[in-house]
Amino acid sequence: MLHVRHATALPVPDHVFRAMFAARKSVFVDLLKWDVPVLDGRYEVDQFDDDHAVYIILADKQGGHLGSARLLPTTRPHILDGLYPFLCEDGAPTGPTTYEITRFCLDRRLRATERRAVRDTLVHALVDHALAHGVTRYTAIAELTWFQQILAFGWRCMPLGLPQRIDGTMLAALSIAIDRDTPRLLEVAGISPDRGVAQNDELAAA
């Protein structure tokens, strides 16, 4: 099931949000050892989790987390511009039609085939959201291995500067152009959504 939370969408159930923040803690704190805030020892929540953030969440029928991503408007403080501007050779792209993808999270309990299906479905959900809301570009920061995967997805993606080592990890910033041809480019590259995963009565509100 696909849930999208932004200013004009239907409310996302609280248990779906809690599952997402718990999954973020499991991935980014427990697995990757990020030094980021943890609420009540269970939920990874930071200063960008506010009313301006957009959340795209894939959940099972019981509301269990499968995958999620957070989108931040670049007209406000966001991670690339505020914390890692040096990753961009010509400055971080900003503007009303540019959003930053952050906290792209696949649940650790997924098997390999499930992980691929959820990943591809989440990527298409990000593109569908962009096309529905006038977003023409995404930016993001990624570790080098994940960065190389993103570049291979088939969409029009380019690095914003040279990768740099930060706290022992190679990080890179990137820009993804979104237009009506992007879903086709993803499909050609083998990135296909699982319609069963994405189906939800709330999709029309996204």
CB neighbour class for 128 (10 Å; exposed up to 12, middle 13-18, buried from 19): buried
pLDDT tens digits, 158-177: 999 999 999 889 999 999 99
Residue 4 has pLDDT above 50, yes or no: yes
Q: Where are the domains of the chain?
A: 2-205
183 φ, ψ (degrees, to nearest 5): -60, -40
pLDDT value, residue 206: 31
Q: How confident is the model at residue 16 (pLDDT cuts 50, 70, 90)?
A: very high
The DSSP-derived string for 10-76 is PPPPHHHHHHHHHHHIIIIIIIT-----EETTTEE--TT-STT-EEEEEE-TT--EEEEEEEEETTS
Q: Residue 167: what pLDDT?
A: 87
Architecture of domain 2-205: 3-Layer(aba) Sandwich (3.40)
pLDDT tens figures, 29-51? 999 999 999 999 999 999 999 99
- pTM score, two decimals? 0.91
pLDDT of residue 164: 95
pLDDT of residue 10: 59
By DSSP bridging, strand 137-143 and strand 54-59 are unpaired
| Cα 184 to Cα 200: distance, rounded to the nearest angstrom | 22
Q: Which amino acid makes up residue 59?
A: A
* Segment 1-16 mean pLDDT: 78
| Whether residue 202 has pLDDT greater than 80 | no
What pLDDT score was predicted for residue 171?
Answer: 96
Centre a 10 Å sphere on the Cβ of residue 91 and count the other Cβ atoms it contains.
Answer: 11
Per-residue tokens: 7: 């200013």
Rounded Cα distance, 142 and 16, in Å: 25
The whole-number average pLDDT for the span 125-131 is 97
In whole angstroms, what is the distance from residue 199 CA to residue 36 CA? 32
Q: Is the pLDDT of residue 203 over 60?
A: no
Mean pLDDT along residues 43-67: 94
| Position 196 pLDDT exceeds 80 | no
